[in-house]
Structure 1
Amino acid sequence: MQTKLITALVGSACLLIGSQTMAATAGEAGMSIEDAIKKARSLGYTEIEEIEADGDEWEGQGKKEGDEEYEFRIDRKSGEVLKDEED
């Protein structure tokens, strides 16, 4: 009886630790490409022509008002805009 109880407790502990590890790993990936596009749109981009992950940043280019070409960089973990200037 005691062996079954210990096995159940150990199994529950492993599940709990495993789920916490998975949650931490998912959070480390940072913002999704969809979130990065939303952030760029909030900066005034009307058209996103290119966007890609480069290390800890999203890098992209697109058009703002008046069809002017701009480029941007967004920190993938914090969402901070690192660059937003005319190309």
Structure 2
Amino acid sequence: MSADDPERLLAEALRAQAIRAPSDNSPVGYGLLSGSEFSGLAPATPPTETTTLISEAPRQLPAVLILLLSLLLGLAAGAVIGLLTLL
């Protein structure tokens, strides 16, 4: 095999990187944050104060108001169309 073999170069690069990798007792971890190797994050603590959420009952429009608004919108649209046809 030649010295420029890509597999051999890759193997040597990975071996060199593994030698320079930090040990287990280092303060910085390079893996997943959820893993056991990273101790920089403290576990989540429950909140000390409790809050209460006051919820209002959802307001609904009365059906009469919705019908009245739709009637007025229909009359307005009809008046505009009627005015345009007269012109």
Q: State the TM bucket, normalised to the shorter chain.
A: under 0.3
Write 1 or 2 for the structure with the bigger share of strand: 1
Normalised by the size of structure 1, how large is the TM-score? Answer: 0.27
Normalised by the size of structure 2, how large is the TM-score? Answer: 0.27
